[in-house]
Amino acid sequence: MKYAMLAALAGVLAASPVTAQMTIVPMGPLRPDQARFFELYKELVETDTSLPDGSCTQAAAQLEARLRAAGFTDDQLTPFSVPEHPNDGGLVAVLPGTSKTLKPMLLLAHIDVVAAKRSDWERDPFKLVEENGYYYARGIADDKFQAAVWTDTLIRLKQGGHKPKRTIKLALTCGEETDNAFNGAEYLAKERLPLIDAAFALNEGGGGRTDGAGRLMVQTVQVGEKVYQDYKLVATNPGGHSSQPVPQNAIYDMSEALLKIGAYDFPAEFNDTTRAFFAKAGALRGDEIGKAMVALTKDLGDAQAMTIVNRDKALHSMLRTTCVATLIDGGHALNALPQRVEANVNCRIFPGHTRGEIRDALAGIIGNDKITIAYGRDDKPVAKNPPLDPAIIGPIEKLAAKHFPGVPVIPTMSTGATDGVYTGGAGIPTYGVPSAWGDPDGNGTHGLNERLNVRGVYTGRDYLFDLVKELAG
């Protein structure tokens, strides 16, 4: 689960006079079905799936065994991997629907996690520990909570004899957390699309945000994300002896180029999702920044409102393409003029713009044809924002009112990235759904002592189960 947008909401609503909220009460004894879910969840988080030492293939096999024990047959279970990456496998499971006309729905979750060193953590990162109302473990939130819930949902539906109208597909994949690893979602979208093809997909990216003091303030549904793109900038020069410097210097050329990029603001723009976010979140906040957010939805050219909103880095990023220097490497000797300098510029492109368009924009910003600009990677699909479809958003909001009473649901566009770039790029509109909640500090996701509120785990599980049933008919 990606908490970047939830962390952003912590700032957006920090000064909010929000009255709509839900008090988080302590969790009581687990129901029998919750206890069964806990055992599945515990087994999954205690299986190391970090790269390169862990094994997603092992975790997928364990989940496959549970699905098989619930009654899923060979033709409904498809484990997958490639010879080059035997430990990075995944699983696709299918619960057939009764309708011959309704296209399937897809439940997507990644089972790989960010690496965690035992010496850095207060607790063993690969042992589920409960303390002070939280579960602790690597991947307890990102993204094994959702992977466990989706698997548990199919088991409950199968064992309960439910016969959904719409076929439900489940894809558990590896490689989301490591950019250059074998990515199961990418593989399925490119090589085995019929296996996962669906009318829409439910994924990570949404979720709740508390005030850090025991109150749930907001739930979000992710409707789209920016395009991740790295550009490699290269400056070259003949070099020479450092005792005789000349004006032409590759380090100076690159420095000037990066300073120009750093000083440039791409034009602000809205799409349906970000406009809805600014309107709803701004109205909830109600302070100077909130009023400026609402004002921009009415007039994006309001310079005063833009100045106020741009003080918040998350809101600034949601409004435009951003590009920033992240790596630089140059020179070859302490006593020689540099012959070559390379820099990486990481861009998060606002939906609707192409990689080539932003590359050309960078060239124009730099204004120095001696600096070449190449793609870091050009094999990823361009993220496609799904529509704010009432058939999807309506049930999300209706069931949120039941499980999270008094808590608003706000559509968001992620400034980060998920595996939804692959399913969305393959023509499957992909939504990050509300569920469990995080605190303003980010809950240690991708860091130390990752945790998730116990009440949030089981409330989120009940919500997602009901949501799948509703959308599957």
- Where along the chain do the CATH 3.30.70.360 domains lie? 227-375
| pLDDT number for residue 8 | 56
Q: Which residue has the tokens 């361009």?
A: 382
Q: How far apart are CA 193 and CA 185, in angstroms?
A: 10
Tell the burial category of 56 from Cβ atoms under 10 Å away from its Cβ (0-12, 13-18, 19+).
Answer: buried
DSSP category for residue 447? S
Q: Which single residue is written with the structure tokens 């540099």? A: 338
| Residue spans in the chain of domains classed CATH 3.40.630.10 | 4-225+383-472
Contact 355, 363 (CB under 8 A): no
The C-alpha atoms of residue 355 and residue 202 are separated, in whole angstroms, by 26
Q: Are strands 227-236 and 371-375 parallel, antiparallel or unpaired?
A: antiparallel
pLDDT value of position 286:
82
Look at residue 210 in the predicted model and tell me its pLDDT. 94
pLDDT at 390 over 80: yes
Q: Residue 137 gets which letter from DSSP?
A: S
pLDDT classification of 383: cutoffs 50, 70, 90: confident
SS3 assignment, position 164: coil
The residues, ordered by sequence, that sit 6+ positions from 89 with a Cβ below 8 Å of its Cβ are: 56, 57, 60, 79, 80, 81, 174, 184
User: What was the pLDDT predicted at 167?
Assistant: 98
Contacts of 297 (CB under 8 A, 6+ apart): 270, 275, 278, 279, 282
Other CB atoms within 10 Å distance of the CB of residue 375: 14
Phi/psi at 134 (nearest 5 deg)?
-130, 150
**Confidence at 6, pLDDT banded by 50, 70, 90:** low
Residues 153-187: tens digit of each pLDDT: 999 999 999 999 999 999 999 999 987 789 999 99
Tell me the pLDDT tens digit for each residue of 217-227. Answer: 999 999 999 99
What CA–CA distance (Å, rounded) separates 290 from 310? 12
Q: Is the pLDDT of residue 85 over 70?
A: yes
Question: Cα separation of 304 and 160, whole Å?
Answer: 57
Element of type H or E holding 171:
strand 168-173
The 10s digit of each residue's pLDDT in 256-269 is 999 999 999 999 99
Cβ burial 257-274 (10 Å sphere, 16+ → b, else e): bbeebeeeebebebbebb
Split at pLDDT 50, 70, 90, the class of 1 is very low
Average pLDDT, the chain: 94
Radius of gyration of the chain (CA): 24
Nearest to 461 by CA among 3, 113, 145: 145
Spatial separation of the C-alpha atoms in residues 398 and 469, rounded to whole Å = 13
Q: CATH top-level class for 227-375?
A: alpha beta
Q: Model confidence over 308-325: pLDDT tens digits?
A: 999 999 999 999 999 999
Alpha helix positions (H), 177-299? 184-191, 193-196, 250-263, 272-285, 288-298
| CA–CA distance, 107 with 2 (Å, rounded to integer) | 16
Q: Does the pLDDT value for residue 377 go beyond 50?
A: yes
Q: What is the pLDDT of residue 7?
A: 55
What are the φ and ψ backbone dihedral angles of 354, each rounded to 5 degrees? -95, 165
Q: Mark 181-205 as b/e (b = at least 16 C-beta within 10 Å).
A: bbbbbbbbbeeeeeebbbbbbbbbb
pLDDT at 11 exceeding the cut of 90: no
One of 3.40.50.300, 3.30.450.40, 1.10.10.920, 3.40.630.10 is the CATH number of 4-225+383-472, namely: 3.40.630.10
Please tell me what DSSP assigns to residue 83. Answer: T
Cα–Cα nearest to 133, from 393, 459, 409: 459
